[in-house]
Amino acid sequence: MSLTYLEAIREAQYEALRQNPDVFLYGQDIGAFGGAFKATKGLAREFPGRVFDAPISEDAMVGLAVGAAIEGARPILEMQFADFSSVGFNQIVNQAGTQYWRTDVPCPITIRLPSGGTPGSGPFHSQSMESIYAHYPGLVIVTPATVEDAYWMLLDSVELNDPVMFCEHKFLYYHLKADSLGERSLPIGKARIARPGRHATVVTYSAMLHEALKSAEELQLDGYQIEVVDLRSVKPMDTDTILASVARTGRLLAVGESFPWGGVTAEIVARVSAEAFHLLDAPPMRLNSKDTPIPYHPNLWKSHRPTVTTISDAVRRLLRY
């Protein structure tokens, strides 16, 4: 059996619906049609009355999910693209994110964000929103990079009694395959050493993990052993695992696909600088997309996001210091 990242997301939703009658799915075109990416294919038929087509109302969709959660349901929302969650931003950060803190009533909702760039998708179907949402209190931000994590972390997210932004990467939907879903392993909040090494640490997450791993392969040919840390969830951020890795290598590069001003990579660098300055043999570095909207043409898009080449160049600079 071989399963894609996208199929794992569908399977996880199947399993969540099967396990718990309080789970329901709400999103645009996700019913009989099965969703823009087919992440809910067949689920409306298999779970009648539990998978709903939503109007194009991201604000009200999130509001509905919060209300349903107050009443004890565990909604999974699908944003058609992460980019459109900006329309539901207020309900996400101000309603869902403050609910537990203000009223002591937990808000168990999972919002699936089909995230990140794919060739030809342009400025409004390519965004990575994890940094934006991580900035706000009261939200858990999950960024799976593997088929297994897509499956298990989605199930974990639905079980969590807090709002989860589930950032699933569209570039991985069809490319990434696994032979099995494996076992439930690390919980949300724990990072994973995706590749051990000793000369430098690259901390990353989501689709950039795979670029970083390829870069580590490439640098291996030059005799460098690069340690790659997959954050898995950006909030909470597993600072301990990052610091332990930097303690081994003395060098840090943080890589993310979102825009360069602030955000997850800046947070990583700030934490390492503040807590492990004495462990560093070189100034910590970060690499993000360019500071422009995300271009449509593949020629431009490929240069807008970090790639194997730009990651390898950055690591070489880090190693030369």
Partner 1 sequence: MQLSRQVEEKLGSLYRSGGRIVGGVYLGKGQEAFSAALGVQLVEGKDVYGPLIRDQAGRIAFGEPLLDCFRTYLGTATGPMRGRDGNIHRGRPKEGMLAMISHLGALVSVVTGVLFARRLRGSLGDTVGATSIGDGGTSTGAFHEGMNLAAVEKLPLIVSVANNQFAYSTPNSRQFACEDLLLRAEGYGVQGWSVTGTDLASCLKGFRAAVAAARSGGGPQMVVGRMLRLGGHGEHDDASYVPEEARFSHLGQDCLMVAEKTLAARGLASAEVVRGWEQEGRKLIDAAIAQAGREPLPDPYRERWDALSTSHLVEGRSE
- Where does this chain bind partner 1 (CB under 8 A)? 21-22, 24, 49-50, 54-55, 57-73, 87, 90-91, 94-95, 97-103, 105-107, 137-138, 140, 160-162, 188-189, 235-237
CA angle 190, 290, 144 (to 5 degrees): 25
Q: Cβ closer to partner 1: 170 or 235?
A: 235
For Cα atoms 191, 23, 124, give the angle at the middle one, nearest 5 degrees: 65
Task: Specify the 3-state DSSP secondary structure of 141.
Answer: strand
As a whole number of Å, the end-to-end CA separation of the chain is 46
Nearer to partner 1, 67 or 196 (CB): 67
Distance CA 131, CA 256 (A): 9
Least distance CB 56 / partner 1 (angstroms): 9
Q: Is 125 known to be catalytic?
A: yes
- What is the rounded distance in angstroms from the CA atom of residue 3 to the CA atom of residue 276? 40
Q: Which is nearer to partner 1, 55 or 223 (CB)?
A: 55
Q: Which of 34, 97 has the CB closer to partner 1? A: 97
Beta carbon of residue 60, minimum distance to partner 1 (angstroms, whole number):
4
* Token duo for residue 110: 């999972």
Closest distance of CB 291 from partner 1, Å? 27
Look up residue 294 and give its DSSP letter. Answer: P
Least distance CB 245 / partner 1 (angstroms) = 18
Name residue 171's amino acid: F
Of 125, 169, 199, 210, which one is the catalytic site residue?
A: 125
Quick check: helix, strand or coil at residue 201? strand
Report d(CA 202, CA 226) in Å as an integer: 7
**Minimum distance from CB of 152 to partner 1 (Å)?**
16
Reading the block at residue 239, the tokens are 């600072």
> Of 83 and 211, which CB lies nearer to partner 1 in the complex structure?
83
Under 8 Å CB-to-CB from 84, ≥6 apart: which residues? 58
State the catalytic residues: 125
